[in-house]
Structure 1
Amino acid sequence: MGTITGTAMLIITIIAMGTAITTTMTEAATLARLMTWLSPAFPVGAFAYSHGLERAIHDGLIRTRSDLREWLEALLEQGSAWNDAVLLAESWRKTSAGDDIAGVAELAEAMSGSRERHMETTLQGGAFVEAMSAWSGEPSSGEEGPIAYPVAVGAAAARHGVALEDALTAYLHAFASNLVQACVRLVPLGQRDGVATLAALEPVVLRTARRAADSTLDDLGSCTIRADILSMNHETQYSRVFRS
């Protein structure tokens, strides 16, 4: 077998560098797209929902940064955010395989624990699908019927080549960030307290995303009963700022 000449080695090196640069540019474009989809500026109306936190604050259950951190940690690891992550992962896998996600969408809708939770996830899901028409190849009409927010995000991430764990991390971070901002307004907490809460939740978000990436629908389950009840109570609250 002959040796590789200097010229051949140079050509191989240039090809490898080109491949690496292309890969890096693709990853950067994917990251930018994911950041756009889950940024506060994306028109899904996330700022209008408190996920029952408004009622928890009204009842004096969340008064400090520590209270908020513990509440959100429970939602992320064993509550509605965990179920969202499992549903997102299943939607991503089915879309990647070219399978229909109607069954996942139906299950996600059925798992909404209250009328306002149902409204929160389906209205955001519908708005997300509609806004996705800005990207070529994404149908503006979306899926048939209501679609829960995590299912819509999972399907879009798969269609656009976003890695599952990246999509899960971004989704869970956006979930926590939105609720932190709600509490900054309602408790009230200072902006520094809000940032400190997000910093404390970072390992929880990463840990939950990794776990959800390996999950199946058998892993669905929530035990944050108080949060579910408060979401129901919020429906009859006399004076309120948020829709859920």
Structure 2
Amino acid sequence: MPRGMITGTAITITMAEAASLARLMTWLSPAFPVGSFAYSHGLERAIHDGLIRDRQSLREWLEALLGQGSAWNDAVLLAETWRQTRAGEDIAEVAELAEAMSGSRERHMETMLQGGAFVDAMAAWSGEPPAGGEGPIAYPVAVGSAAARHGIALADALTAYLHAFASNLVQACVRLIPLGQRDGVATLAALEPVILRTAQRAAGSTLNDLGACTIRADILSMNHETQYSRVFRS
């Protein structure tokens, strides 16, 4: 067997591919110190207002965010950052655009603080910030740049990012609705085709494809800023 290869009955994986997969799993796991567990992305307000009550309403809400909302825009920005980084181009403009597209003060805090924490944690691998330079950077831009610099395929990075987005919000709702763990897992299973389709679309997207129509989610994120009693930061 050649060095640097892991073989199985049906596939052969190079050590480089295995390392990329392991890094991607680490970077987008709940254990990676970006603080994603502290954010509900406005869902806490939606639950407070009775708009999300059960597994079905949660699934429909997340489908909209993934296909036509903030998660879609994140995927487009991640993909553009990945391509520009691979081409050796400056990502400052896409980073500025990503920050400007935050729909509310809390959404801005969510993406910028998570992006900054991601950059800090990435020092364990490279010791360097993403190609956009030092300072705050939006979360999808930070992930897209890191994925490109570490040889992670765009489709894999997009799928993992979108899955982590959905998984984090499902776990928030497990605590808030409350939703049972089985219903949480069932929600993720139902969202799998949506995640894969969105990742495929985003892989072929350009910045001209940016845009969202989940206005209620954006408004609820703004309302959450003044909610009297809350568990999450957004």
**Fold match (TM-score > 0.5):** yes
Question: Which of the numbers 72, 79, 86 marks the counterpart of 2:62?
Answer: 72
- Which sections of structure 1, spanning at least 5 residues, go unmatched? 1-13
| CA deviation vs aligned residue, 1:168-189 (integer Å, no higher than 9, x gap) | 0000000000000000000000
| CA deviation vs aligned residue, 1:64-121 (integer Å, no higher than 9, x gap) | 1000000000000000000000000000000000001110110000000000000000
Equivalent residue letter for 2:201: R
Pairs within 5 Å for 1:4-153: 24-136=14-126, 138-139=128-129, 143-153=133-143
Measure, in 2, the Cα distance between the counterparts of 1:190 and 1:18. 46
Moved more, 139-148 or 22-31: 139-148
Question: Which of the numbers 201, 206, 209 marks the counterpart of 2:196?
Answer: 206
Instruction: Tell me: CA distance 1:144–1:136, structure 2 relative to 1, closer, same or farther (3 Å).
Output: closer
Report the counterpart of residue 229 of structure 2 in structure 1.
239
Measure, in 2, the Cα distance between the counterparts of 1:218 and 1:234. 30
Equivalent residue letter for 2:221: S
- Which sections of structure 2, spanning at least 5 residues, go unmatched? 7-11
The offset of 1:145, in angstroms, is: 3.1
Deviation above 4 Å: which 4+ runs of structure 1? 17-23
TM-score (norm 1): 0.90
Kept after mapping to 1: 8 A contact 2:114/2:139 = yes
Measure, in 1, the Cα distance between the counterparts of 2:5 and 2:229. 56
Question: Which of the numbers 152, 170, 181 marks the counterpart of 2:171?
Answer: 181
Tell me which protein shows more helix as a share of its residues.
1
| CA deviation vs aligned residue, 1:141-198 (integer Å, no higher than 9, x gap) | 9723321000000000000000000000000000000000000000000000000000
State the superposition RMSD in angstroms. Answer: 1.7
The offset of 1:23, in angstroms, is: 5.2
The offset of 1:136, in angstroms, is: 3.0
**Residue 189 of structure 1: SS of its match in structure 2?**
coil
TM-score (norm 2): 0.94
Counterpart check, 1:227 vs 2:227: no
The alignment covers a number of residue pairs equal to: 229
Equivalent residue letter for 2:91: I
% of aligned pairs identical?
86
Measure, in 1, the Cα distance between the counterparts of 2:220 and 2:141. 24
Instruction: Tell me: CA distance 1:228–1:50, structure 2 relative to 1, closer, same or farther (3 Å).
Output: same
Compare CA radii of gyration and give the structure with the larger one.
1
Moved more, 25-34 or 208-217: 25-34
Equivalent residue letter for 1:120: E
Measure, in 2, the Cα distance between the counterparts of 1:80 and 1:193. 24
